[in-house]
Structure 1
């Protein structure tokens, strides 16, 4: 059975724009997924990147155009300049880690946090938002409290693993054969690879 390690940030607009396509691909190809939320703002300087706030205006303008184009292509509601961006991604990430350890289906929870930040004008660093997302996705809202220590340790470990394995952005997908795919615009390539066509 193929496996995908999914490195991502709940702050990433392109991770939001991936929607549930990864989960659809995994289901179609019989693949499993391990969700690995990471600190994207700490990853960038360690892998040759620049945090968005410090990028050249031409790069920021192009990024904004791409976000708007992809929102139209996917039909996903989106505010490309949300009220709470950037915010602290740790609380949502800890909740995802705790939910995954509990054995539930984490895909909808990841998407709930991304949608909250990029389409619903919510601050995913707030405890009430974290609890709401957990509850709406069938998880015990108390995971927001019980998973803090493990969440912090795993979140830090995910960053170190990402650096070691060649991750430099979000979303980033690595197969069990170490094939790497960066960006929601490479999901078709990931699918083709899992199908043995690429």
Structure 2
């Protein structure tokens, strides 16, 4: 059975625009997925990237246009300048890590709920109440927001180190067990074709 390591940041608009496509692809190919939330700003610093705030205005203007176009094509609501962005991504990331360990809910729905909360619902995903609501809506015990914080922090840091070692440099990023890497929500079709043996 194929496996996908899914590296992503809960603050990434491009990860939000991926929606539930990864989960659909994984189900179609009976592939397992390990969710690996990470600090994308630290990843940029480690792999030659530039944080959005430090990018040239022309790059930021193009990014804004691209996000609006993609959201329209996908018919997804998107707030270009969310009220709570950037915010601390650690609480939402720790919740995903704890939920993955606990099992029993829909991990894909949980990850997407944080992304949607940030980019479409004007919620602060660093707030305890938002984290609890997202956990509950995805079928997990909201008390996971309070458990395994040390393990969450350790795994979150380990995900970053593993990402750098695997050649990951952005979010979303998909790495298969065959060593193929796919960067961006616009490469999900290629991931699908690869798992089908066509690419």
Between 1:142-151 and 1:93-102, the stretch displaced more is 142-151
Q: Secondary structure at the match of 1:36?
A: strand
Q: Structure 2 CA distance, aligned partners of 1:102 and 1:190? A: 28
Q: Structure 2 CA distance, aligned partners of 1:102 and 1:115? A: 23
User: In the TM superposition, what is the alpha-carbon distance from 1:147 to its structure 2 partner?
Assistant: 2.1
Q: Secondary structure at the match of 2:6?
A: strand
Tell me which stretches of 4 or more aligned residues in structure 1 moved more than 3 Å. Answer: none
**Structure 1 unaligned spans of 5+:** none
**Structure 2 unaligned spans of 5+:** none
| TM-score normalised per structure 2 | 0.98
Q: How many equivalent residue pairs?
A: 198
User: How far does the alpha carbon of each residue in 1:66-104 deviate from its partner, in whole angstroms, 9 at most, with x for none?
Assistant: 100110111111101100000000000000000000123
**Equivalent residue runs for 1:112-151 within 5 Å:** 112-151=113-152
Q: Secondary structure at the match of 1:142?
A: helix
Q: Structure 1 CA distance, aligned partners of 2:29 and 2:87? A: 35
Q: Structure 2 CA distance, aligned partners of 1:9 and 1:70? A: 18
Match of 2:84 in 1: 84
User: In the TM superposition, what is the alpha-carbon distance from 1:136 to its structure 2 partner?
Assistant: 1.1
Q: Structure 2 CA distance, aligned partners of 1:197 and 1:136? A: 36
Q: Structure 1 CA distance, aligned partners of 2:78 and 2:148? A: 30
Q: Structure 2 CA distance, aligned partners of 1:119 and 1:58? A: 25
| TM-score normalised per structure 1 | 0.99
Match of 1:109 in 2: 110
